[in-house]
Structure 1
């Protein structure tokens, strides 16, 4: 188990008492595993302090405002690639199959492309595979870090840590395209209602839809897990 991935996953979950209690242990976990630089770990400290000491209801309200009411800060990775289209549903089915082929069954109501879920999965995989998978999504991670930094959010440090773990260079063109999308206003209730009126996600194949970026991510993950899955009898 790669505890750094698990710790970063925890920091991106909806705040609760369990997370507050774990904040005292997370720095030790990060320092002991030494996958992140001491500077990067220090940058996470303000978030840990806030999560450990602030009122839990204030923390939860902030989390919802940031990640649930702002599509440009969504923790559901495929949403940044093709929104709520059928393509995303098909891609998530493939991602869920990749999880199961590796013997991982998400114990959550979150969607398969939810970043904390992906990090929980990567915590069970070889380190190189985890870092390469993060590199496949580095443009999304960088965009989220940039937007959070502009809002002076302490959560930006978590994405800086993920960026440090990623192997390879960020796709600058893809990053620029994401950052060119205007940021939405979580206090604009009319716009929020319009989002929910869009077409729902369909978990099934769409013969007319495909997304090269998502397929690249899934194909690389499939390549890394196929041999283990065959041995375990999952395929």
Structure 2
């Protein structure tokens, strides 16, 4: 990973800075598409569970962010990495669990915000996994397909069109997480601020839906995934937040994170 990142950064430094929003009418150049992919991949890494492996990679990640061409998204990532590099690993782990595992409003499982605990979520997970397979991408099965780091990695690999379609589809959920992190004053709000810089701005309808979602929560219907064949993504019970499959980067020898979350 570090070699790939450094190569992408060296190439990016030779390019003029331009707005990276996908919503703009002018198509991205190949160089801008590469720079965008690097930003998305960095966000994917920074939103994964900060185990010892990720903590050890902080110098490379930080230097990569520092070498990015100036942009609003790069500035937000620099704000986050300044905090990220100054924390002890155990403190990072605690903050991550408290932020993303113990608070439903900032869960990283995107289909939850759109479908809640309903049968539709099982179908949405299956459809998303099929999208990955159709693009020739194997996630490795370590996480549910709607886990935001997984969705970001797919976007980085596949490109602004179909690759970023799941991000655009879940724009309201991303906006709600961003608001929750901002309300909690979590440094992870900077990563979401960088992400929203790359997405189309929310519409008035989006903002109304986010406000309603924040007030009422998503739909609720206690069901499992098995009737839709989605059991392959996680063990039984992982469907209902905040239960989840093991974090992407946690090695088998690492201590188990809290599974019975409320």
Quick check: TM above 0.5? yes
Give the Cα–Cα distance (whole angstroms) in 2 for the partners of residues 203 and 121 of structure 1. Answer: 26
Map of 2:58 onto structure 1: 23
Q: Give the 5 Å matches for 1:208-223.
A: none
Report Cα offsets for 1:145-181 as digits up to 9, x if no partner. 1111111111011111111111x33233233323334
> How far is 1:120 from its partner?
1.1
Equivalent pairs counted in the alignment come to: 191
Q: Which residue of 1 aligns with 2:78?
A: 45
1:109 maps onto 2:151 in alignment: no
Residue 14 to residue 108, structure 1, CA distance change in 2 (3 Å): farther
Distance between the aligned counterparts of 1:27 and 1:55, measured in 2? Answer: 15
Q: Which residue of 1 aligns with 2:43?
A: 8
Contact 1:15–1:60 (8 Å) recurs in 2: yes
Q: 1:91 to 1:101 in 2, by over 3 A?
A: same
- CA distance in structure 1 between the aligned counterparts of 2:165 and 2:66, rounded to whole angstroms: 22
Q: Verify: 1:173 aligned to 2:205, yes or no.
A: yes
* Unpaired stretches in structure 2, ≥5 consecutive residues: 1-33, 230-262
**Contact 1:145/1:159 (8 A) holds in 2:** yes
> Aligned pair in 2 of structure 1 residues 115, 16: CA closer, same or farther (>3 Å)?
same
TM-score computed with the length of structure 2 as normaliser: 0.64
Aligned-partner Cα distance in 1 for 2:209–2:134: 32
Matching of residue 156 in structure 1 with residue 189 in structure 2:
yes
Query: Aligned equivalents of 2:139 and 2:41: distance in 1?
Result: 13
- Asked if the contact 2:49/2:96 (under 8 Å) is kept, the reply is yes
The answer (yes or no) to whether the contact 1:3–1:29 under 8 Å persists in 2 is: no
Report the more deviating stretch, 122-131 or 64-73. Answer: 122-131
- From 173, 193, 198, give the equivalent of 1:140: 173
TM-score of the pair, normalised by structure 1: 0.71
Q: Which runs of 5+ in 1 are unaligned?
A: 185-194, 206-235
